[in-house]
Chain A
Amino acid sequence: GDSVTQMEGPVTLSEEAFLTINCTYTATGYPSLFWYVQYPGEGLQLLLKATKADDKGSNKGFEATYRKETTSFHLEKGSVQVSDSAVYFCALTEGSNYQLIWGAGTKLIIKP
């Protein structure tokens, strides 16, 4: 079945560092891919999405490119801030499967 694998956390970085959170997926068809962010004590927010190969999703300085050849959707940001500290979830939907398939989540800690 479909699955999403994220790098294990926590990921700890200093402010202004470059961020990459790896996400790879397994799917039989052509999934849509998402990054959701959950700040401490809050609900989930859609951060960005991509619906077809080579699409780049971007928002708030974060970017991710849908790479079909490597089945990846890695999240990147050029310069992180303390306020980016949160848990980041990679997820996919595919075809008529109504479920959002989630990765395990990656906790990001940014130190001043």
Chain B
Amino acid sequence: DTEVTQTPKHLVMGMTNKKSLKCEQHMGHRAMYWYKQKAKKPPELMFVYSYEKLSINESVPSRFSPECPNSSLLNLHLHALQPEDSALYLCASSQEFQREGYQETQYFGPGTRLLVL
């Protein structure tokens, strides 16, 4: 089973709202990722968690706040977003983040389509 689940599927929020995206995997993976994907573009990496610790932050604005409560769950807290933040937000996981100098295969969830008004 290579399933990553994400909720909600769709989200509409105002620029003053606070909302959260959730991601879950039960594959025993120890690395989890957040990506942002704009229409007709490949995904852009935002954050990487390895063993529940933040390993990579790709200079993401502080209005995006990730959280990894345990090895199966990954949240992305959203606050004071801008209309240009509207996108598909994808979660992914892999067995490990980096193993002996190579990258593990990443498995993606279905995404949350976010619209900021």
Residues of chain A having any CB pair with chain B under 8 Å: 32, 34, 36, 41-46, 49, 87, 89, 91, 93-100, 102-105
Contacts and interface: CB of A to CB of B under 8 A. Distances in A.
Contacts of B42: 89, 91, 102-105
B110 A43 contact: yes
Nearest to A87: B40
B50 to A, nearest CB: 10
12 contacts: A32-B105, A43-B90, A44-B43, A44-B90, A44-B92, A45-B108, A46-B107, A87-B40, A98-B56, A100-B45, A103-B42, A105-B42
A96 B101 contact: yes
Given A104-B42, A105-B41, 7 more contacts: A34-B105, A43-B110, A44-B43, A95-B102, A98-B48, A100-B103, A103-B42
Interface residues of B, number: 25
B64 to A, nearest CB: 18
Contacts of A89: 42
A32 B48 contact: no
A106 to B, nearest CB: 11
Main secondary structure of the interface of A (DSSP, over half): strand
Nearest to B113: A41
A75 to B, nearest CB: 15
Given A96-B98, A98-B98, A102-B43, A43 B56 contact: no
B86 interface: no
